[in-house]
């Protein structure tokens, strides 16, 4: 099903403003038929905070933590989801959960102890998602709706590297044009079988929402007790392979997902395509030709992963780069993820090479 993405620049009627602001009191008013829907101008009006104030999150908004976080240049991130009362997530297809109208996701970014940006993804109608960002003021008292063209250089990360708020078109690039969906909220990411070696993994506090929470509160349809009895995980013979593939699903799988949206030469790294046989996924990356030329290699010889000469692996080279023409991921980061680069290099020459030897 196609999803239309709604920009923030359309003026609302008074009635539309009312339902946008009063989601806690009247959540069912989210099921509107209009397409001229807009997010509120202030973060404090989105329903994230109790009674519209800033600082105390409404208890109906549940914090969650993906076990494989997306790299965001070292930002401290906090995430919440709101599911309207008496609604459920349609989980008949584990690769494509369908969320009820009125669902909202928020993700807060902080650098150096200061809130910089909060993004919101809101399923405003049965076919429309609203994607917006809010930029925090200097006093940290509220955040205002950012331009749909983005806001460059809103915070210094390190040296001359700065964090920029993305344009709505950039959000669409990652969240999908053919089928819009939240990222980081799926069976693998919410599994209670957490990867203790996950790169940048976050501690799982008792209050954090997981698959078990959703099952116990009957927020999934059909009921999915199987997700608790056998928690989803990436099945591999190696802990390091599990960790690297988990990183790939979070940082690469939103684009390299095998649905034809991108003409790419990388096998699908979508979580649903990786979980059941991680070793097979890893082997599909080995020696696979890519048109992207690794500097220093002969024409036509560049491959995604090369266990014999790891430094000639296109995936490793592009993860190291922060040049716009070569870096991966191509959006949302200006600082190299050195921890991930080191883990990938060790894995290519270590467990991946061993896996190849075992399969020969």
Cis peptide before 329 (omega within 30 of 0): yes
In total, the chain counts a number of residues equal to 360
Q: What is the pLDDT of residues 292-325, one digit of tens each?
A: 999 999 999 999 999 999 999 999 999 999 999 9
Q: Are residues 61 and 86 in the same domain?
A: yes
- Letter string b/e over residues 77-93, b meaning 16 or more CB atoms within 10 A of that residue's CB: bbbbbbbbeebbbebee
Give the C-alpha separation, 107 to 78, whole Å: 6
pLDDT at position 174 is 81
Greater pLDDT, 5 or 24:
5
Does 301 fall in a domain? yes
Mean pLDDT of all residues in 15-22: 35
Q: Are residues 114 and 138 in the same domain?
A: yes
* pTM exceeding the 0.85 threshold for the entire prediction: yes
Give the C-alpha separation, 325 to 336, whole Å: 14
Structure tokens that stand for 84 in this block:
């309207």
Q: Are residues 83 and 126 in the same domain?
A: yes
Does 293 fall in a domain? yes
Does 344 fall in a domain? yes
Of 185, 203, 229, the one marking the end of a domain is 229
Q: What is the pLDDT of residues 26-40, one digit of tens each?
A: 332 233 334 568 899
Query: Measured between alpha carbons, how far is residue 28 from residues 32, 101, 123 in Å?
Result: 9, 8, 12
Cα 348 from chain centroid (whole Å)? 25
pLDDT at position 31 is 30
Residues 6+ away with beta carbon under 8 Å from 106 = 46, 48, 61, 79, 80, 81, 118, 119, 120
Say whether pLDDT at 11 is over 50.
Answer: no
Cα 354 from chain centroid (whole Å)? 31
Say whether pLDDT at 259 is over 90.
Answer: no
Q: Are residues 210 and 77 in the same domain?
A: yes
Q: At what angle do helices 338-347 and 239-251 cross, to 10 degrees?
A: 130
Mean pLDDT of all residues in 264-290: 91
Residues 6+ away with beta carbon under 8 Å from 156 = 111, 112, 162, 163
Mean pLDDT of all residues in 202-229: 96
Q: Are strands 114-123 and 128-136 parallel, antiparallel or unpaired?
A: antiparallel
Greater pLDDT, 47 or 25:
47
Q: Are residues 254 and 350 in the same domain?
A: yes
Q: Are residues 224 and 245 in the same domain?
A: no
Give the C-alpha separation, 256 to 168, whole Å: 20
Does 292 fall in a domain? yes
Does 296 fall in a domain? yes
Structure tokens that stand for 175 in this block:
């969240």
pLDDT at position 10 is 34
Q: What is the pLDDT of residues 63-79, one digit of tens each?
A: 999 999 999 999 999 99
Say whether pLDDT at 221 is over 60.
Answer: yes
Q: Are residues 252 and 220 in the same domain?
A: no
Looking at the chain, the whole-number percentage of residues with pLDDT higher than 90 is 77
Of 229, 257, 283, the one marking the end of a domain is 229
Mean pLDDT of all residues in 179-207: 93
Q: Are residues 256 and 194 in the same domain?
A: no
- 214: nearest Cα among 91, 79, 59, 108: 91
Does 152 fall in a domain? yes
Say whether pLDDT at 7 is over 50.
Answer: no
pLDDT band at 45 (very low <50, low <70, confident <90, very high): very high
Q: Domain limits at 318?
A: 239-359
pLDDT at position 14 is 35
Of 166, 194, 229, the one marking the end of a domain is 229
Does 65 fall in a domain? yes
The domain tally of the chain equals: 2
Q: Are residues 184 and 294 in the same domain?
A: no
Q: Are residues 155 and 285 in the same domain?
A: no
Residue 131, helix vs strand vs coil: strand
Q: Are residues 224 and 250 in the same domain?
A: no
Say whether pLDDT at 240 is over 60.
Answer: yes
Does 234 fall in a domain? no
Q: Are residues 261 and 162 in the same domain?
A: no
Q: What is the pLDDT of residues 76-131, one digit of tens each?
A: 999 999 999 999 999 999 989 999 999 999 999 999 999 999 999 999 999 889 99
């Amino acid at each position: 099903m196609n999803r239309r993405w709604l920009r923030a620049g359309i003026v609302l009627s008074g009635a539309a403003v009312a339902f946008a602001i009063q989601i806690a009191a009247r959540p069912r008013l989210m099921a509107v038929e209009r397409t001229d829907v807009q997010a509120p101008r202030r973060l404090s009006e989105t329903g994230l905070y109790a009674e519209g104030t800033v600082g105390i999150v409404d208890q109906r908004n549940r914090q969650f933590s993906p076990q494989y976080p997306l790299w965001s240049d070292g930002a401290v991130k906090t995430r919440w989801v709101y599911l309207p009362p008496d609604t459920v997530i349609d989980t008949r297809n584990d690769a494509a959960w369908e969320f009820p109208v009125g669902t909202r996701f928020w993700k807060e970014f902080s650098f150096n102890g200061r809130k910089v940006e909060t993004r919101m993804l809101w399923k405003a109608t049965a076919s429309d998602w609203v994607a917006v960002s809010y930029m925090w003021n200097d006093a940290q008292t509220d955040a205002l709706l950012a331009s749909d063209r983005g806001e460059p250089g809103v915070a210094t990360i390190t040296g001359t590297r700065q964090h920029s708020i993305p344009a709505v078109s950039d959000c669409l690039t990652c969240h999908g044009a053919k089928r819009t969906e939240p990222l980081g909220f799926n069976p693998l990411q919410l599994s209670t079988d957490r990867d203790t070696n996950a790169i940048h993994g976050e501690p799982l506090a008792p209050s954090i929402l997981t698959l078990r929470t959703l099952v116990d509160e009957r927020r999934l349809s059909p009921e999915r007790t199987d997700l608790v009895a056998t928690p989803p995980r990436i099945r591999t013979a190696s802990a390091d392979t599990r960790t690297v593939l988990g990183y790939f699903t979070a940082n690469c799988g939103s684009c390299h997902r095998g649905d034809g949206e991108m003409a790419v030469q990388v096998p699908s790294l979508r979580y649903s395509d990786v979980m059941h046989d991680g070793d097979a996924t890893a082997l599909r990356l080995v020696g696979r030709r890519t048109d992207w030329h690794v500097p220093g290699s002969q024409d036509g010889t560049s491959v995604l992963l090369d266990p014999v000469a790891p430094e000639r692996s296109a995936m490793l080279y592009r993860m190291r780069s922060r040049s716009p023409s070569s870096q991966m991921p191509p959006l949302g980061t200006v600082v190299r993820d050195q921890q991930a680069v080191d883990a990938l290099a060790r894995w290519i020459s270590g467990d991946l090479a061993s896996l190849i030897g075992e399969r020969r």
